Amino acid sequence: GQQLNQSPQSMFIQEGEDVSMNCTSSSIFNTWLWYKQEPGEGPVLLIALYKAGELTSNGRLTAQFGITRKDSFLNISASIPSDVGIYFCAGQPGEGSSNTGKLIFGQGTTLQVKP
């Protein structure tokens, strides 16, 4: 089935550093989403991307929908301790798939920030 490969699996960085993570797939996706999950909670939407090439920012977060529709990246600038959590990419499958709104999730990137 369709899969998303998310990397890196984990990151341990110093406060103030920039962070970058990405997701790739062999299949086309219509929508790319980035979520953050904290322990014991459900994922919270950070950024939604709907068009190939789209670049969207949300505060210190920036994400892009790859031009091939097979990848996306998320950047976090000037990290702070509260950025700690697990970040997931998710995509809505494209051509050949019925548009039911279901999402395919990446495996997650665990971010730890050292003050």
Partner 1 sequence: NAGVMQNPRHLVRRRGQEARLRCSPMKGHSHVYWYRQLPEEGLKFMVYLQKENIIDESGMPKERFSAEFPKEGPSILRIQQVVRGDSAAYFCASSPSGQPGGYTFGSGTRLTVV
Nearest approach, Cβ of 9 to partner 1 (angstroms)?
Answer: 9
Residues that bind partner 1 (CB under 8 A): 4, 6, 31, 33, 40-45, 48, 50, 88, 90, 92, 98, 100-108
Q: How far is the CB of 76 from partner 1 (least distance, A)?
A: 19
CB of 16 to partner 1, least distance (A): 28
Alpha carbons 61 and 84: distance in angstroms, whole number = 14
Nearest-angstrom CA–CA distance, 103 and 108: 14
Whichever of 8 and 16 has its CB closer to partner 1, that residue is: 8
Amino acid at position 113, single letter:
V
Question: Angle 61-103-110 (CA atoms, 0-180°, nearest 5)?
Answer: 45
